[in-house]
């Protein structure tokens, strides 16, 4: 199955049709696939989590339940069972919506994680099913690994395609206030299709966050898709009061600004954020996390 070949076929067969429903469906399908091609290659490692999204998606050094998707090493520092759901309405188009769910299960020897995400709609969709395990070897170092099953589904008789990929990451805390993180997605360059040797992108991320105080955390990150330009991300989180957080961030290639807030309600954490692209507009996000167990005062790094 070749996405580039599919686009050519759609332009030649669907768009000339005067049928309103068919024309709209074809246009949406082409736009959806075209968006994936312009943003990155298909089956990219979509970031999920409204907290990190508000911080420009500078998340490789953060440790929370969303580490099941962002950097599995962060799960190693978790002490409680947690689960979360996420929804993003990209550029306010439901056809480009991104949905996700995560769960973290700490045990005596480490932490198991499960992450599921879905991008797209009925005519075109991409799914990721990720099973991970992380272990903290001390309070200063953690490693995580994951196995993914990635699928692409296209309507109009093109069917679906699935492939396996791997991930691994580390986090280190050389001093109390500083966390450094590194993560590699798909180091083996898993193949999506034999046609034109299409492969899942290999993505390397490196970053850090620093606690300037109990109230302020700054995170930075660089991301490199091996076939694209590097992306720089930066974000800040400010704990206004014990239950309320303010966040903002930026990212390059493409240039995005982001902002949002978080609210802690006993065992629940509500995060709302939005990204802004100067041409395509706003992408609002929503996240809800549940942490099992007695609620404790959160530090800026671990939520």
Domain definitions of the chain by residue range: 46-291
Of 196, 143, 152, 162, nearest to 36 (Cα)? 152
Higher confidence at residue 154 or residue 274?
274
Give the helix/strand (H/E) hosting 144.
strand 141-154
Q: Distance between CA 263 and CA 245 in Å, rounded?
A: 6
Whether the predicted pLDDT of 130 surpasses 70 = yes
Q: Distance between CA 37 and CA 17 in Å, rounded?
A: 24
Q: Distance between CA 121 and CA 170 in Å, rounded?
A: 34
Q: Distance between CA 202 and CA 188 in Å, rounded?
A: 8
pLDDT at res. 302:
53
pLDDT band at 198 (very low <50, low <70, confident <90, very high): confident
Q: Which residues pair with 211 in a beta bridge?
A: 217
pLDDT at res. 75:
97
- Average of per-residue pLDDT across 2-9: 44
pLDDT at res. 45:
84
Whether the predicted pLDDT of 14 surpasses 50 = no
Just give the CATH number of 46-291. Answer: 2.40.160.60
Q: What is the pTM of this model?
A: 0.84
Higher confidence at residue 96 or residue 221?
221
Higher confidence at residue 272 or residue 32?
272
Whether the predicted pLDDT of 23 surpasses 80 = no
pLDDT at res. 41:
45
Whether the predicted pLDDT of 20 surpasses 60 = no
Q: Distance between CA 242 and CA 262 in Å, rounded?
A: 11
């Amino acid at each position: 199955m070749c996405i580039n070949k599919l686009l050519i076929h759609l332009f030649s067969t669907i768009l000339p049709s005067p049928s309103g429903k068919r024309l709209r469906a074809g246009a949406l399908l082409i736009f959806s696939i075209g968006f994936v091609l312009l943003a990155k290659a298909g089956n990219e490692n979509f970031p999920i989590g409204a907290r990190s999204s508000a911080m420009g998606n500078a998340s490789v050094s953060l440790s929370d339940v969303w580490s099941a998707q962002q950097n599995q090493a962060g799960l190693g520092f978790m002490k409680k069972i947690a689960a979360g759901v996420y929804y993003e309405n990209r550029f306010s188009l439901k056809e480009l919506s991104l949905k996700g769910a995560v769960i973290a299960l700490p045990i005596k020897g480490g932490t198991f994680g499960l992450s599921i995400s879905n991008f797209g709609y009925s005519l075109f969709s991409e799914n990721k099913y990720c099973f991970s395990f992380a272990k903290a070897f001390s309070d200063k170092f953690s490693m995580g690994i994951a196995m993914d099953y990635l699928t692409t589904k296209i309507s109009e008789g093109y069917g679906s395609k699935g492939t396996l990929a791997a991930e691994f990451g580390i986090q280190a805390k050389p001093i109390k206030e500083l966390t450094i993180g590194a993560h590699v997605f798909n180091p083996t360059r898993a193949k999506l299709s034999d046609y034109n040797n299409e492969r899942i992108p290999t993505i390397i991320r490196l970053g850090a966050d620093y606690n300037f105080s109990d109230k302020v955390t700054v995170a930075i990150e660089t991301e490199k898709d091996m076939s694209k330009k590097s992306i720089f991300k930066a974000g800040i989180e400010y704990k206004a009061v014990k239950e309320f957080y303010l966040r903002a961030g930026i990212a390059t290639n493409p240039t995005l600004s982001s902002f949002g807030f978080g609210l802690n309600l006993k065992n629940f954490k509500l995060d709302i954020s939005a990204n802004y692209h100067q041409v395509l507009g706003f992408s609002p996000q929503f996240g809800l996390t549940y942490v099992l167990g007695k609620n404790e005062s959160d530090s800026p790094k671990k939520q």
